[in-house]
Structures are given as structure tokens and as C-alpha cells.
Amino acid sequence: MSILYVDLRSLVKFNHKNRTPFLIGLVVGFTICNFVYFPTYFPTTYLGERRPRPPSYATMYNIIADPAKPLEPFNNTDPLSGYVNVLKDKAPFKRHCSVCALVSTSGHVLNYMAGEEIDQAECVIRMNHAPVDGFEKHVGTRTTVRVATHKNFEEAWRQITHIISTENLSNVFVWGPDRTMRTDGKGKTYNYLLSLAKASTDVEFYMLTPERMRYSHQLFDNETGLPRRPESDIYLSTGWFTMVLATEMCDQIKVYGMSNGDNCRDPNAYPAAYHYFHHFLDFQGRRKECDEYNRMENMKTGAHRFFAEKKVFGRWSKYHNITFHFPTWTPEE
């Protein structure tokens, strides 16, 4: 034992003179270990490179077995019903566009400088608080419709207000479950939207009726062939609601910056940020798209199912004149 002790001492030269570097080394080593191993257990604290996990989205891919079919409409005679103005005495949403550009929030949009092309569409559809300011050459400048989630909408609104000063934003759609969108005074998000709508002169606020929300979930279940389950089990993405709206208001939909997820199977693919406005090494952004997709895929409840959603979008594209640009892909037969 004493021999080992002596050996160790000489190995690390553990004497008073260089104890400090040794201790610093110990602290640094411990910190590095934390960043390497912690994220495995707490993926949201992820700051560095995570050890790869086997992707499990294949399961979701295989669930979709039925032949593709057109989207089951919410209402045959009035496709845009179910979107109501937050102010009850105002008209429901009625806009129709020949060509829509649907701009993804993904980091992919930063690779193609598609801004000019996007601006040429009759209507431009954006999501959540994705900014235009500073990203014009990639995402264009115009916004006709913005679809946003109820989640952290107060926070998103602060961003959107800033965005409003630099773009002509006139229609904000907010989706959310009944508990937060109920109009009897107990819906937190609804109450907030109502106060914004009353104060605003240049923005129309729309929300999805409870029937619309139910329809959106049923649509997902039907398309994926998953058995019925409580709505809380699946957390549809804003992209899902946005794509459905786009099929109802646009003759042609050009989607920008939305991959089909195949890049996530390729370990050498250039990583895209989850959001184009958050660099994936930023403390705020700190997420790569594929990491985030796979992380959600591995969560049983309360997570988005991005791979399945995109698979469904690909299937709809055969019937609804949807094309995917930058990255360009055509759905498999």
C-alpha cells in the first residue's frame, strides 16, 4: 500500500508546489465529465456533443401503412370554418391565396438564400416567433399569416411585437387546448389574446375552436394509424396546424427549409439548428434539429412527432400541391 502511495505520488508529483494545478485539473475534469454524461440523463441541459442514441423513429414510420389519401376536410362546404376571431363580433378568417410560401423555423433555411423567392409568393406563412429581422435574405420580408402555439405565448408575443415593427403582420393564429383557450374567463391564453386584440388596430387574432382542435388530433391519429389516445399524449407541432391551414387557404404551397428527416439518419449530414434564429451552440438555442427530433421521439408523452408529421405532409403533397424547397425532396411512393 505504501509502495503504491509512493508510486502515485511520483506519478502525479503530488507535492505542495504543484498541488494547485492538480486540483484545477480535477475540477476541470469533473466539469467535462458532467457535460459528457449529464445530457444523457437530462437532455435539456445539453451544451456539447451528446453521445449518439439509436434513432427510434423507424417505429413511427412503419405505423403509417395505409395508402396516402387527400386530407379529410374539417368542413366540405366551408374549409376555413373553425378559425374564429378572438373578438367575437369580428368576422372569421376568410383569406384565400393562389401561392403560399410556408417558411419553416428550421436551421435548414439558412443554407439557401431563398428570401427573394419567398417574397414572391402571394402569401407568406410563418410560425411562432421566427424573426424576419436580420434574416431577410434567407426567409424574406413579408408575412401574411403567423401561426403560434399557446405555449409561452406571452414570451412569443414580446418577440412578435418587435417583429411587427419591421413587417406587415396582420393575422396571428393561436392554437391551444381548451383549458387555456376557453372563453369563459378561465382560459389564460385566451384572456391574454383578448386583451391584445382589444388594444390592437393592425393585427387580427384568430384561434381554433375546440372542434378544430379535436379535428387536428383526430387527423393525426387517422393519418398515422395510431390507436386513439388522450390528446395530452401527443403534442402536435405548430407545423401541423400550419400545414393544415395552408391546405385550406392556398391553392399551391411551397414549403421552405423543411427536411423530411432523412438527414437525421445520416451521421455525417451537416447539422441544422432546431431553430434558424438560435445557433445550435448558443446557450439559448443549444439544440440541433435531429437531436431534438430524436429526443422527442424517445419521449412517450407530451412530445412532438416530427418524423411522422413530415411523413404525413409528404403524403398530402400528392393531393394538395405541396412542394418542398431547400432542402428539396419528393415524398417516396
Ligand X SMILES: *[C@@H]1O[C@H](CO)[C@@H](O)[C@H](O)[C@H]1NC(C)=O
Q: Least distance from C-beta 75 to ligand X, angstroms? A: 4
Q: Least distance from C-beta 72 to ligand X, angstroms? A: 3
Judged by CB under 6 A, the number of residues near ligand X is: 14
Distances (CA, A) of 286 to 93, 259, 279, 294: 36, 19, 7, 15
| Residues in 302-321 that interact with ligand X by CB under 6 A | 321
Residue that is written with C-alpha cell 438560435 in the block: 278
Distance of CA 194 to the CA centre of its chain: 25
| Residues in 210-229 that interact with ligand X by CB under 6 A | 215, 218-219, 222
Q: Least distance from C-beta 323 to ligand X, angstroms? A: 8
With CB under 6 A as the contact rule, the residue among 159, 191, 252, 298 that binds ligand X is: 252
C-beta of residue 176 within 8 angstroms of C-beta of residue 168 = no
Strand partners, 99: 252
The set of cell numbers assigned to 199 is 388594444
Distance of CA 207 to the CA centre of its chain: 19
Residue 158: how many CB atoms within 10 A of its CB?
12
Which one, 142 or 286, has the nearer CB to ligand X?
142
Single out the residue of 240, 238, 217, 241 nearest to residue 229, CA to CA.
217
Please name the residues in contact with 281: beta carbons below 8 A apart, sequence gap of 6 or more.
none
Alpha helices in 42-152 (DSSP H): 57-63, 115-119, 136-139
The site string for ligand X over 1-40 (x = CB under 6 A, - otherwise) reads ----------------------------------------
Residue 165 engages ligand X in binding (rule: CB under 6 A): no
Say how many residues make up the chain: 333
Residue 75 engages ligand X in binding (rule: CB under 6 A): yes
The set of cell numbers assigned to 84 is 374564429
Which one, 83 or 326, has the nearer CB to ligand X?
83
With CB under 6 A as the contact rule, the residue among 49, 66, 72, 154 that binds ligand X is: 72
Q: Least distance from C-beta 256 to ligand X, angstroms? A: 16
With CB under 6 A as the contact rule, the residue among 40, 168, 301, 330 that binds ligand X is: 168
Residue 311: how many CB atoms within 10 A of its CB?
22
Residue 77 engages ligand X in binding (rule: CB under 6 A): yes
Q: How far apart are CA 131 and CA 257, in angstroms?
A: 14
Which one, 219 or 290, has the nearer CB to ligand X?
219
Q: Least distance from C-beta 274 to ligand X, angstroms? A: 28
Residue 200 engages ligand X in binding (rule: CB under 6 A): no
Q: Least distance from C-beta 44 to ligand X, angstroms? A: 33
Residue 282 engages ligand X in binding (rule: CB under 6 A): no
Distances (CA, A) of 153 to 179, 205, 248: 15, 13, 24
- Span of 29-37, 75-83, 145-153, 284-292 interacting with ligand X by CB under 6 A: 75-83
Residue 153 per-residue DSSP state:
H
Q: Least distance from C-beta 223 to ligand X, angstroms? A: 7
| Residues in 120-149 that interact with ligand X by CB under 6 A | 142
- Site for ligand X, rule CB under 6 A: 72, 75, 77-78, 81, 142, 168, 215, 218-219, 222, 251-252, 321
